[in-house]
């Protein structure tokens, strides 16, 4: 399968499991270590739209940055939340697989199979 991308954190067990699941199916995705190469705000907005969720649903709310930046403030809009994820990529839920014009979060890893 062509044009499969995984936003990957090699230190995350779910991310490693999702990558292994893809590779077991003969898929060699483009691997983006998003902590090293954060997605742009525009790319994050596109991913959120593809997932059909709001920005907070893509955020790891237990990360220290979430509380430190006051991201639980309901007054914060979509753009502010997306910018926070771009500036602090640890806040981005992982892994995210993009394929066939769709996106899926690999929690559980098998969730990504629906878009392949």
Residue with tokens 């969730």: 111
What is residue 2's three-state secondary structure?
coil
Chosen CATH of 5-115 out of 3.40.50.10140, 3.40.50.970, 3.90.1570.10, 3.40.30.10: 3.40.30.10
pLDDT digits (tens, 9 = 90+) for 11-52: 999 999 999 999 999 999 999 999 999 999 999 999 999 999
Write down the pLDDT at residue 2. 62
d(CA 57, CA 69): 16
d(CA 89, CA 37): 9
Write down the pLDDT at residue 1. 52
Catalytic positions, please? 12
**Banded model confidence at residue 66, pLDDT cuts 50, 70, 90:** very high
| Domain boundaries of the chain, sorted by first residue | 5-115
Q: What percent of the chain has pLDDT over 90?
A: 98
User: Could you give the C-alpha distances from 87 to 10, 47, 50, in angstroms and in order?
Assistant: 20, 16, 21
Number of residues that this document lists for the chain: 116
């Amino acid at each position: 399968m062509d044009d499969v991308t995984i936003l990957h954190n090699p230190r995350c067990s779910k991310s490693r499991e999702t990558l292994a699941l893809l590779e077991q199916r003969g898929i060699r995705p483009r691997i983006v270590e998003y902590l090293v190469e954060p997605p742009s705000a525009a790319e994050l907005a596109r991913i959120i739209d593809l997932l059909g969720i709001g920005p907070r649903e893509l955020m790891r709310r237990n990360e220290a940055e979430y509380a430190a930046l006051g991201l639980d403030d309901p007054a914060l809009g979509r753009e502010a939340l997306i910018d926070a994820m771009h500036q602090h990529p640890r806040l981005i839920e992982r892994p995210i697989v993009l394929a066939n014009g769709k996106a899926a979060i690999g929690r559980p890893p098998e969730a990504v199979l629906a878009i392949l």
